Structure 1
Amino acid sequence: MSASHGSANASFHAIEWHHQSLRLLDQRVLPHEHKVHEYTTASAVADAIRDMVVRGAPAIGIAAAYGYALDALAGRDLQAAYKVLAESRPTAVNLFWALERMAGIGSDDPHALVAEARRIHEEDIAANLAMGQFGASVIGENAVIYTHCNTGALATGGHGTALGVIRSAYADNKVTQVYAGETRPWLQGARLTAWELMQDNIPVSLVCDGAAAQLFKREKVDWVIVGADRITANGDVANKIGTYSLAVLAKHHGINVMVVAPTTTFDPSLASGDDIPIEQRPQEEVTSLFGHPVAPAGCKAINPSFDVTPAGLIDVIATEKGLIMQPDAESVALLLAR
């Protein structure tokens, strides 16, 4: 029996459990190819996470949970499974939350662990739908929204975080236009977000990352809506590189900023964004494009995968438990205590 999940009207499944194996839609080759890989070991799932076959903090957590269950099914060492999965990406806290939850069962019964992984998957979809409604509730009529990276059914169990809010607001007839930043160097906005929105017939225009300031100055934009990979106790947010600059631009132009993330993305053990480990990815991702060099041979590059947006630049954080307006340490603690 297979369990497959996507947004209510998605024609694809990014993560699918099928007959004691995990199927992942390869997000590196979208939108031009629809390729699905099958996995039966934790180490192979860890490679898929590291190599960006699956990406997006919630989706990484779900995939890791299934990866852990795969090794339980095969009778392999679960401590080793935990270690190899935990080392696959350092910034997304959902990964560690999911692994802790799997290990916390205190059993190596494969059926119990598969059931727990499926619960994590299903709960993520329910959370996405809830935060979609909470986030949409503060968006006014005829809204124009700018989003960054991919935060939809591809990055989550289904429906999406920031894209889930956009989907929900569009269903409420509140959204007239979405701008998707291309999101260098992996172009998740161009390849994935534009594709998802076009699947749902939501009006979208692609924007070069460097054109955001000009767009904000010349056109009506009401909201910048993004996801998160980690949120600290004071409301600082780590997200895809380029988010911080968007928040600064939004502040200058009087545009609201919304971060959309499940409570599993919060890491109250870290006081502020200064404490978040930032993943540094290979230079070649910047100096070449899909294997084709774009910079001179031997040119050095920096490639931080994430940046940190201070809470003071964020107007609202939408979660499945409700909204945090003007986030700070007190308002974050109040919501997490619910």
Structure 2
Amino acid sequence: MSLQSIKYNRGSLEILDQLLLPVQSKYVAVRGVEDGWKVINKMQVRGAPAIAIVGCLSLAVEIYPEEFESKKSLRQEIEGKLNYLVSARPTAVNMKIAADELLSLANDLTKAEDVSVPDMKQRFLNATEAMLQKDIADNRAIGANGAQAILKLVAKSLGAAGASGNGSVRVLTHCNTGSLATAGYGTALGVIRNLHELGKLEHVYCTETRPYNQGARLTAYELVHEKFPATLVLDSMVAALLRAKNVAAVVVGADRVAANGDTANKIGTYQIAVVAKHHGVPFYVAAPLTSIDLQIPSGDHIIIEERPDREMTHVGEHRIAAPGINCWNPAFDVTPASLITGIITERGVFEPQELKEAITKLLEL
């Protein structure tokens, strides 16, 4: 059974505090938008899909007990709170897309003469709650599409790099993209989960993901929980790993994908893509359509969040860096489309150069 990072019942929201993992599993109550903003900004919840879901559900929890005099006042409350939530973590586009969709719904309901204030509130709550189940369904589709893409490559030459005699594969992933980063199942880790369900996962390697150690703390925690054959490696070992261990593919997540296929993901992703290209290892990005931002032409336009120095200088309360040293701590980097083999979505796997046209057609359907 996969881990549950989000617990929701109408009027009640709790999130698994990921700052305490893997030492302690503790759920934190989110009683409204202010709490939602804090747990996202402090990275008690993280992962682009989970950020959007927790942000929107925090608004649902806040408005659930409230009574509104008019649809206009409800719409104003929704708009102001959604704009505030978007500011918590600017790089992940999922929260912005979810906010735009919910605000559009609120605008339509406000204009509809046959919709009362209670009806408007009920429909808005239904829309936010539907995000949970949709995310899980999308993740399962991403997992199946990604696993098939990898196995198809391997099937072309059984016994080639990264494949055992029965077609099982060894894969590498970076950061955390599993149940702790989504509503459940996972994106890149969902691909790995699907490979395991098919009996085709020989081994998975996960990086530590310095400086915040999401790989060592969270991905490793999930892999142990699921009893997957897994090994943790330091970020600096990836080149040696790809040279020595016959890895079939690298699978990572994404916080934002630009129209040209450039991808923003956790810091350290770019260098893994470069090394994978050198070793001829396919490099896949797994992300829902909500992570694809066709309004941004390339990765040069993606805002990269910078985090506090302390994440680099300390491990817990213990200082590991020389006092007085300057720090540069971008939370993400951008991997150029030229290094990406395919972008795995719930609607299929696309080469970066075909992404914009393919997604535009899908959105028109």
* Structure-2-length-normalised TM-score: 0.87
Q: In the alignment, does 2:302 pair up with 1:311?
A: no
- After superposition, residues 188-227 of structure 1 pair within 5 angstroms as 188-227=214-253
Residue in 1 that maps onto 2:203: 177
- How far 1:322 sits from its partner (Å)? 0.6
Q: Which residue of 1 aligns with 2:304?
A: 278
CA–CA separation in structure 1 for the residues paired with 2:220 and 2:334: 24
The reply on whether 1:243 has 2:273 as its aligned counterpart is no
1:70 and 1:218 map into 2 onto residues whose CA distance is 50
Unaligned runs of 5+ in 2: 67-73, 110-116, 152-166
The separation in 1 between residues aligned to 2:189 and 2:329, in whole angstroms, is 25
Aligned to 1:81: 81
Contact 1:233–1:333 at 8 Å: present in 2 too?
no
Distance 2:194 2:103 in 1: 34
* Alpha-carbon separation, structure 2, partners of 1:117 and 1:74: 15
Q: Secondary structure at the match of 1:303?
A: coil
Identity across the alignment (%): 42
Is structure 2 residue 130 aligned with structure 1 residue 130?
no
For 1:68, the equivalent position in structure 2 comes to 59
Counterpart CA distance in 2 for 1:130 and 1:188 is 24
Aligned to 1:30: 21
Counterpart selection for 1:139 from 146, 150, 160? 150
Could you say which structure has the higher helix fraction? 2
Q: Report the structure number with the largest CA radius of gyration.
A: 2
User: Deviation of residue 19 (structure 1)?
Assistant: 4.5
Counterpart CA distance in 1 for 2:58 and 2:10 is: 14
Distance across 1 between alignment mates of 2:341 and 2:301: 22
Alpha-carbon offset, residue 287 of structure 1: 0.7
Cα distance per residue 1:178-235 (max 9 Å; x no partner):
0000001111111111111111111110000001111112221111100000001000
Instruction: Look up the match of 1:103.
Output: 103
Match of 1:288 among 314, 318, 332: 314
Which moved further from structure 2: 114-123 or 232-241?
A: 114-123
Partners of 1:128 and 1:161 within 8 A in 2: yes
Contact 1:90 1:277 in 2 (8 A): yes
Q: Deviations over 1:261-301 (max 9, x none)?
A: 00000000010000000001111110111232111222211
Residue 335 (structure 1) aligns with? 359
Counterpart amino acid of residue 218 in structure 1: A
Asked if 1 retains the 8 angstrom alpha-carbon contact of 2:83 and 2:99, the reply is no
Contact kept? 1:68, 1:102, Cα under 8 Å: no
- Distance apart, 1:74 and its partner CA: 4.5
Give the TM-score, by structure 1 length: 0.94
Return the alpha-carbon distance in structure 1 between the equivalents of residues 318 and 10 of structure 2: 38
Tell which deviates more after alignment, 292-301 or 40-49: 292-301
Q: Which amino acid aligns with 1:54?
A: V
Separation (CA, whole Å) in 2 of partners of 1:196 and 1:26: 14
From 113, 126, 131, the equivalent of 1:115 is: 126
Corresponding residue SS for 2:177? coil
Between the aligned partners of 2:223 and 2:360, the Cα distance in structure 1 is 31
Distance in structure 2 (CA, Å) of the matches to 1:255 and 1:218: 12
**1:269 has 2:260 as partner:** no
- How many angstroms apart in 1 are the aligned matches of 2:355 and 2:121? 39
8 Å CA contact 1:180–1:193 kept in 2: the answer is yes
| Structure 1 stretch displaced more, 247-256 or 287-296 | 287-296
Amino acid at match of 1:115: N
Q: Distance in 2 between matches of 1:20 and 1:234?
A: 40
Alignment-mate amino acid for residue 95 of structure 2: L
**What is the aligned length?**
327
Corresponding residue for 2:157? none
Which of 171, 180, 186 aligns to 1:160? It is 186
* Amino acid in the other structure paired with 2:224: M
- Where 2:150 maps in the other structure, the secondary structure is coil
Which SS does the other structure have where 1:211 is aligned? helix
SS in 1 for 2:55: helix
Distance across 2 between alignment mates of 1:291 and 1:80: 37
Letter in 2 for 1:94: N
In structure 1, the gaps of 5 or more residues are 1-8
Q: Distance in 1 between matches of 2:355 and 2:26?
A: 43
- For 2:162, the equivalent position in structure 1 comes to none
Amino acid across the alignment from 1:150: N
Asked if the contact 1:322/1:335 (under 8 Å) is kept, the reply is no
TM-align CA RMSD: 1.4
Distance 1:103 1:16 in 2: 24
Q: Select between 94-103 and 220-229 the one with higher mean Cα deviation.
A: 94-103
Q: CA deviation at 1:73?
A: 2.1
